[in-house]
Structure 1
Amino acid sequence: MSYSQLKTQYSIEVADAPDIPGEGKPRRNALCPDKLIIHPPNATTLYENFLHGVNKAGNRNFLGHREIRDGVAGPYVWQSYIEVQERVANFGSGLSKLGFKPKEILGIFLISTPEYIMAQLACHQYNFISVPLYDTLGIDSIEYIINQTEMEYCIVTTDKGRILLNMKDKLPTLQTIIVIDKYDQEFTDLANSLNIRVLNFAVIERDGSVHHINAENARPNDVAVICYTSGTTGTPKGVVLTHKNIMANVASIRWLSERGKCYSPSTDDVHISYLPSAHVYELVNTATMIYGGVAIGFYQGNTLKLLDDIAELKPTIFISVPRLLNRVYDKVMAGVKAKGGVAQWMFTAAYNAKKNGLDKGNVDHWMWDRVVFAPIRARLGGRVKAILSGAAPISTEVMDFLRIAFSVDVYEGYGQTENAACLTMSLFGDTSSGHVGPPQVCVEVKLIDVPEMNYTSRDNPYPRGEICVRGHSVFREYYKLPENTAEALDKDGWCHTGDIGYWDDQGRLVIIDRVKNIFKLSQGEYIIPDKIESIYIKHELVHQIFVHGDSLQPSLVAIVVPDEGMLLKWAKQNNLGRKSFQELCGDSKVKGYLLQSLIKYGKINNLKGFEIVKNVHLTYKPFSMTNNLLTPTLKLKRYQAKIKFHNEIIEMYAEIA
């Protein structure tokens, strides 16, 4: 009997839950069916969470960064847990001396850095409320957040400070910016001319160390952070998360790890922080690492140099998002294909052997791990023992690849800002793919009918519906938006996610759709663009893709960012080798070839006729956070993409007509 045939039940219905028309019964993790876990031992707040890490790790490494000299990054320089504890207390005391009081708002406008974590920890200790400003939210959203929260203080780097100074006429409440790096007299003069006070992070620390002001520590139900959703459409909403909300996530990971069902962060582990600390995903990951006393090393700030940072740091836990993991998969597979011959045959044999092993719950192979997969493991530093993917769906093929190539436990989590990134997660020992696991042990989950999309809790073989979650990680409210809060949180405390899922025959959740992320073509066919993009993105010539359609058109079109390396290789083979990547993207011959390739590829991968794109526009500029086409977790912003490529979309439809 194979592993997958054992039919372990990962979640079960809540005992004595009533039958309610139009919805399924709530389900809980089968390992903890009788209660919902609130917090881990000895830590009810994020400050107590930090103290737990200090007590575990003491003088061991905590926060590390690479010093850049003459454009070259040196080795990691570390501060210990005890050193950071002193700096955090001093900074919090310094803020108090400036007049900061408990439950007041502190803005943080930084990429992931040691100072970011120290500022946030100071907020946790002194019961201030942090409000992250996303590095790439866009000017309009930054203005909206600062004004809605009536923010007076904001921590910045000099470049981010200039952005705020240039916006000052639209930011009436902003009074003080705290700069973590060096700034010149011109910067100071500009701030003075705008009646903005400029303070230095280190100076506030120093002042706080003299006649230290004691902290008024937060309680579990106090607000820890107002985390604005990056969103793929519309104005961001401020998700109010309490200390209890975030600690429930830490508790769930620890509770499962103690039972051998999840990775267990410890003082022997190293985590690389490159995802935005302003996003709830990295926020709760960091909290989990701190509880275990993990060393956290930060990237240089440039994702193009991330692999260099990884090689230097050699992390043991790698937390990522599907878009980056997809690129690892694509590059490895393209490299194997390019080698061909014996090397390709050996890789295929090794891959198939380990794929068969996954059915038995095995991620290791005594020979192939050494002979074939060791160079791939080295790409992540060679020490990774656990990989977690979250923030967006990841394909079955890529999940299998990660387990096979890296010979480690690979977990997929599912959550949202509104539930502190904590809803479900796959468990240790489950090497099957295509699901996001059972509920975390701090929440319960149910499905409610969406009749207009033909999803019901009575569907066979699996009940389907909108995913709703209730429990300790569910947010308190949207900041100053009572109507939006009422739409998302019903009277019984259920948070309506807007995602569609079903329970498989082992009680694991499978995400299949989005209530709002769906549209009709003119003949009435429903289109799920995420599904179509997830297929096309696997084509070797596709780096990024945005599939578009609407109810006034009979077919789909797409904006494609080709894979530069693969396109240049194809061009060389087809007498176009003298052209640059930019020139190739504007070449009609290239466009025609790629379109026909995608049409053929869609058919091979069982896309329906109306799901296959009928025209494409090629662009050499990648979708990124900088051009406001990706969220900080690298999800496509459809609304912004539609606006940016408005003219190209019109032209593509005109060509079809």
Structure 2
Amino acid sequence: MDSTAAQRRLKAIHGHLLCADDSSSSQLRHNPTAGEYALEQGYSVVLPEKLDTGKWNVYRSSRSPLKLVSRFPDHPEIGTTHDNFVRAVDTFRDYKYLGTRVRVDGTVGEYKWMTYGEAGTARTEVGSGLIYHGISKGSCIGLYFVNRPEWLIVDHACSAYSFISVPLYDTLGPDAVKYIVNHASVQAVFCVPQTLNSLLSCLSEVPTVRLIVVIGGIDDQIPSLPITTGVQILTYSKLLSQGRSNLQPFSPPKPDDVATICYTSGTTGTPKGAVLSHGNLIASVAGATLGTKFYPSDVYISYLPLAHIYERANQVMTVYSGVAVGFYQGDNMKLMDDLAALRPTVFCSVPRLYNRIYAGITSAVRTSGGLRERLFNAAYNAKKQAMLSA
């Protein structure tokens, strides 16, 4: 299609705009340019095509109505999540990347950070360690713990060495974990001491597992397994050391290669696995960058489950932009304390939590007294007006 025809079609499409309401998830960030664009044109457009059956319309994002987005417009060479992280390590090597709150004398303190370069080194050591233990390219690797730096490091290692990451819900019982491990033929599982016992309880029923890596475990406290099980268990620090002593070159995936199998929680029957390629993840995030921009100066808080694809996609976005990612303590009841310590500039959430936050704030305002309530409402309305008119 030539440019003149494309422009004519674009004008026609813009005459059939539809404003869509995304009720599943959202990003709380002030972006005047994207916001004005959405207000003027709506979020999606109706294309002239009709489906073969039914009277359904075909919709596409108003930011790219004439073609699907498959790569980052500014970096079309990025075709996999491995490419994405390699560029981030090269570009943002000394920038803060992964942060956790450190404990001093039993008290949770400030955030301690790992740089992109340090995370890149750990990624190589983890991947090399898996190869050292005979885990072959294309194998499925289970992640059985909540958000923390090691989750993303292991995921980056999977991308760099063409393994397939398989998140395991930390909140599910042994039956669901057993089902997912067997269904995906998981060969290695990364867990924490809190989930180790659950995994060991069904070990005899997951014959594909050959290696268990305990994050946060202490070498002399790791239980020994009978040699007849065919399963080796070791600490994450030991795996890093072994990988460091036996470094292996990357085995980069192709865009069409499987990056992850993301399972449902199994609330309606057995869990269902969505098989997603590297190209799928890159295309999804590349499309989002048309309307949302992040920067290396931004700070993101990670608390939404990494077992869900929404948080996984957000992490691809943070890597692309060189954003610092601080992790919550693992307890949603302490999230507000983590927010106060981290002071993130990017907060991604879902409607249920936004409603909870809104209810908490409005309740506190109502009970604070007449003057404070009027001051709060005045400040809130002024801020809202400033954002709409920016």
TM interval, shorter chain, is: 0.7 to 0.9
Q: Report the CA distance shift for 1:322/1:18 in structure 2 as closer, same or farther (over 3 A).
A: closer
User: Number of aligned pairs?
Assistant: 351
- Amino acid in the other structure paired with 1:325: Y
Query: For 1:192 and 1:70, how far apart are their aligned partners in 2?
Result: 39
Contact 1:272–1:296 (8 Å) recurs in 2 = yes
Corresponding residue for residue 48 of structure 1: 83
- Aligned to 1:14, what secondary structure does the other structure show? strand
Distance 2:226 2:99 in 1: 31
Query: Separation in 1 of the partners of 2:341 and 2:87?
Result: 28
> Do the aligned partners of 1:91 and 1:205 also contact (CA within 8 Å) in 2?
yes
TM-score (norm 2): 0.83
Partner-residue secondary structure (3-state), 1:363: helix
Alignment correspondent of 2:66: 34
Residue 11 of structure 1 is aligned with which of 44, 69, 85? 44
When the two chains are superposed, the root-mean-square deviation of aligned CA atoms in Å is: 2.4
- Alpha-carbon offset, residue 77 of structure 1: 1.2
- Residues 219, 235 of structure 2: 8 Å contact kept: no
> Amino acid of the residue matched to residue 74 of structure 1?
G
Pick one of 177, 193, 196 that aligns with 2:231: 196
* Structure 2: stretches of 5+ with no match in the other structure: 1-35
1:23 aligned to 2:55? Answer: yes
1:439-466 alpha-carbon deviations (Å, 9 max, x no partner): xxxxxxxxxxxxxxxxxxxxxxxxxxxx
Residue type of the alignment partner of 2:232:
R
Q: Report the TM-score, using the length of structure 1 for normalisation.
A: 0.50
Deviation sequence 1:139-182 (CA, Å, 0-9, x none): 22111111112222101111211111122233233232111112
The correspondence of residues 461-472 of structure 1 with structure 2, limited to 5 A, is: none
Larger radius of gyration: 1
2:223 is paired with a residue whose SS is helix
Q: What is the aligned partner in structure 1 of residue 14 from structure 2? A: none
Q: Does the CA contact (< 8 Å) of 2:71 and 2:283 recur in 1?
A: yes
C-alpha deviation, 1:233, in angstroms: 2.1
- CA distance in structure 1 between the partners assigned to 2:305 and 2:183 by the alignment: 22
1:282 aligns with 2:311: yes
For residues 486-565 of structure 1, the aligned pairs below 5 Å read none
**Any conservation in 2 of the 1:191–1:198 contact (CA below 8 Å)?**
no
- 1:171-186 to structure 2, matched below 5 A, reads 171-183=206-218, 185=220
Contact 2:162 2:253 (8 Å CA) reproduced: yes
- Out of 190, 194, 201, which is 1:155 matched to? 190
1:18 shift after superposition: 3.9
The letter of the residue matching 1:339 is S
Shift of 1:298: 1.0
CA distance in 2 between counterparts of 1:269 and 1:350 reads: 24
Partner of residue 329 from structure 1, selected from 339, 345, 358: 358
Distance 2:66 2:388 in 1: 35
SS in 1 for 2:224: helix
**Residues 88-167 of structure 1 mapped to structure 2, 5 A cutoff:** 88-167=123-202
Is 2:363 the partner of 1:363?
A: no
Larger helix share, 1 or 2: 2
RCO (CA 8 Å, sep 6+): is it higher in 1 or 2?
2
Asked if 1:306 corresponds to 2:341, the answer is no
Report the Cα distance in structure 2 between the residues aligned to 1:120 and 1:207, rounded to whole angstroms. 18
Conservation of the 8 A alpha-carbon contact between 2:51 and 2:58:
no
Is residue 323 of structure 2 the alignment partner of residue 294 of structure 1? yes
Match of 1:80 in 2: 115
Structure 1 runs not aligned, ≥5 long = 366-428, 430-657
Partner SS, residue 26 of structure 1: strand
Change in Cα spacing, 1:185 to 1:53, as seen in structure 2 (3 Å) is closer
How far apart, in 1, do the equivalents of 2:361 and 2:339 lie?
17
**1:246 lines up with 2:270 in the alignment:** no
Q: Spell out the pairing of 1:306-455 with structure 2 (5 A cutoff).
A: 306-348=335-377, 351=380, 357=385, 362-363=386-387
What SS does the aligned partner of 1:100 have? coil
Distance in 1 between residues matched to 2:219 and 2:236, nearest whole Å: 15
Secondary structure, aligned partner of 1:65: strand
| Residues 56 and 292 in structure 1, CA contact (< 8 A), matched pair in contact too | no
